[in-house]
Amino acid sequence: MHAVMKHWHPMMGIDFHIPWPPGSPSPAPSPVPYRTGMVLIGTSMIASYAPTHLSMGYGMSMQQGTDIGFLIPHIGPPSVLLAIEIPLSSSKSYFGVARYPAEGKPICVAMSLMVNMNLNCGTPVPTPTGMVLALNTHMVSMSLADMIYGSVHMLLDFGLQSLLQWAGGKAGGLIAARFEMQIAYLTYRFGPQLLSKAAAKAFLRSSGRSIKGRDINRVAREFADAHNARVQTGRNAVPSITSELAGNITGWFTGGPMGADNATIGGPTLVDEVSVGGTPVGNIPTSMAQGAADYVNEPSVPEHPSSPPASSTPDAGPPAPDAGPPAPDAGAGTPDAGTPDAGTPDAGTPDAGGADDGGPNASYPPDDGGVCGPDNPGPYE
């Protein structure tokens, strides 16, 4: 049995992102963990749920493939990239039961009784490190096809999302390189400027600081060096920041199976425009997973394939040979040999009145039953 997931069930997980500490010239070389948490409905902007399918009080049932989406809090090392990663966050649930629909879509359930594994956003790839605690007494059963559908769908989404994130990073790097001169000009034009020793000395004097004449040169030189180091660090980070921004902007219009993109607000995305064999790229994971489920649901496919058990009925052997054509008709029936005619007199069987019906000892004249009048009296009567 598996618990039905409700809109208030909490997701607690760990996302892996590459941090970029503020003031650092470049991001960290590898991802670090960030603790995340949110209820399944999230901001309700891209989550998939059924408001009319209620249980456990006012708990709205989630639908298979629901994504928490926007603004999942991330707690971890400070990073300038969190300004992009939190608004475009994602935590997606893949397991459901097809025979129990909630407003036309399969109802979402916890794969491990009351705990479900979500696929969470991450850099450079998403990870199945989101855990949903489904505290519920509303339980349903899953078929083998439901389990295959959810597993295959998660695997395909992982592959497609990882590929799109890699492509988005490459595209961002190309965009940053293409506009490197323009970006450098804007940085030098509007960003902080390098200071010479004379400019630093003039700044210190205009700031009203009390510095002795013999110390002004040393203080101005130290101030200029520190300022210029900060300026140079920021300028060195500009190409990497531009690449990261361009990659996320590219991903917004490219689209993907996880998180928000341009399709969330009704716009076009590349994965919806490009099709393979008549299926939009964005729908390929869903259609392939559905194909696997349909195959398992075929009546001709055994749910647990094995060799058929031996039959308990003995083999009847080959069919009996044909007995040939039926025997010819024997002709008309034989005449009756001795059946007495209905008019044949009884051969001595007395009737109910005790008189014979024409046997050898019959009295004469026969008794006519008084039809012809009374008999004449005899001489002795």
Task: Indicate the range of 9-18, 34-43, 310-319 predicted with least confidence.
Answer: 310-319
Residues 17 and 111 occupy one common structural domain: yes
pLDDT at 235: 77
Q: At which of 302, 327, 350 does a domain end? A: 302
The last residue of one of the domains, among 302, 317, 337, is 302
Give the separation between CA 370 and CA 188, rounded to whole angstroms.
158
Query: Residue 34 pLDDT > 60, yes or no?
Result: yes
What are the backbone dihedrals phi and psi of residue 95, each rounded to the nearest 5 degrees, phi first?
-100, 135
Q: What's the pLDDT tens digit per position in 272-300?
A: 777 777 787 777 777 877 777 777 777 77
Check residues 77 and 373 and name the one with the higher pLDDT. Answer: 77
Residue 208 pLDDT more than 90?
A: no
Comparing 89 with 338, the larger pLDDT belongs to: 89
pLDDT score at 242: 77
CA distance to 61, 79, 192, 233, 236, per residue, from 187 (Å): 51, 21, 8, 12, 10
| Model confidence band, residue 312 (pLDDT cutoffs 50, 70, 90) | very low
Return mean pLDDT, the chain: 79
Are 297 and 160 contained in the same domain?
Answer: yes
pLDDT at residue number 330: 56
Q: Which two tokens stand for residue 102?
A: 């909630």
Predicted model pTM: 0.67
Mean pLDDT across 344-371: 48
Strand partners, 279: 276
Same domain for 195 and 124: no
Cα–Cα distance measured from residue 72 to residue 88, given in angstroms and rounded to the nearest whole number: 9
pLDDT at 234 over 50: yes
Structurally, the chain folds into a number of domains equal to 2
More confident position, 295 or 321: 295
Q: Are residues 149 and 269 in the same domain?
A: yes
User: Which region among 113-117, 232-236, 330-334 has the lowest average model confidence (pLDDT)?
Assistant: 330-334
For 31-35, 138-142, 257-261, which range has the lowest pLDDT when averaged over its residues?
Answer: 257-261
Residue that terminates a domain, selected from 279, 302, 325: 302
The answer to whether residue 373 sits within a structural domain is no
Give the pLDDT score at 6: 96
Q: Are residues 81 and 156 in the same domain?
A: no
- pLDDT at residue 176 is higher than 50: yes
pLDDT category at 362 given cuts 50, 70, 90 is: very low
Distance CA 108, CA 112 (A): 12
Per-residue confidence (pLDDT) for residue 182, from 0 to 100 = 78
Same domain, 132 and 195: no
pLDDT at 140 over 90: yes
Give how far Cα 63 sits from Cα of 75, 137, 256, 335, 378, Å. 28, 17, 19, 89, 122
Domain that holds residue 37: 1-142
What pLDDT score was predicted for residue 28?
85
